[in-house]
Amino acid sequence: MNLITSRENPQVKTWRRLAQDGTAYRKASQFWLEGDHLCRAALERGVRPLQIVLCASFFEEQGPQWAGLSDQLFVLPDTLFASLSGLESPARMGFVVDWASEKNILPDAMTVVLDRLQDAGNVGAILRCASAFGYRQVLAIKGTAALWSPKVLRAGMGAHFALHMVESASEADVAALQVPILTTSSHEGPFLHALLQSNALAQKCAWVFGHEGQGVSDSLMALAHQKVRIAQPGGEESLNVATAAAICLHASATASC
* CB 242, CB 126: distance < 8 Å: yes
- Together in a domain, 25 and 69: yes
- Together in a domain, 61 and 139: no
In a domain, 105, yes or no: no
Last residue of a domain, one of 98, 125, 156: 98
- Together in a domain, 53 and 77: yes
What's the pLDDT tens digit per position in 124-154? Answer: 999 999 999 999 999 999 999 999 999 999 9
Q: Which CATH number does the domain housing residue 235 bear?
A: 3.40.1280.10
In a domain, 10, yes or no: yes
Last residue of a domain, one of 33, 63, 98: 98
In a domain, 103, yes or no: no
Name the residue range of residue 10's domain. Answer: 2-98
What's the pLDDT tens digit per position in 208-228? Answer: 999 988 889 999 999 999 999
pLDDT grade for 67, boundaries at 50, 70 and 90: confident
Q: What is the pLDDT of residue 161?
A: 96
Nearest Cα to Cα of residue 161 among 139, 136, 178, 185: 136
Sheet containing 181-184, strands listed edge to edge, beginning at the edge strand earlier in sequence:
164-169, 137-141, 111-115, 206-210, 181-184, 226-228
**Total structural domains in the chain?**
2
pTM reported for the whole predicted model: 0.93
Last residue of a domain, one of 98, 119, 143: 98
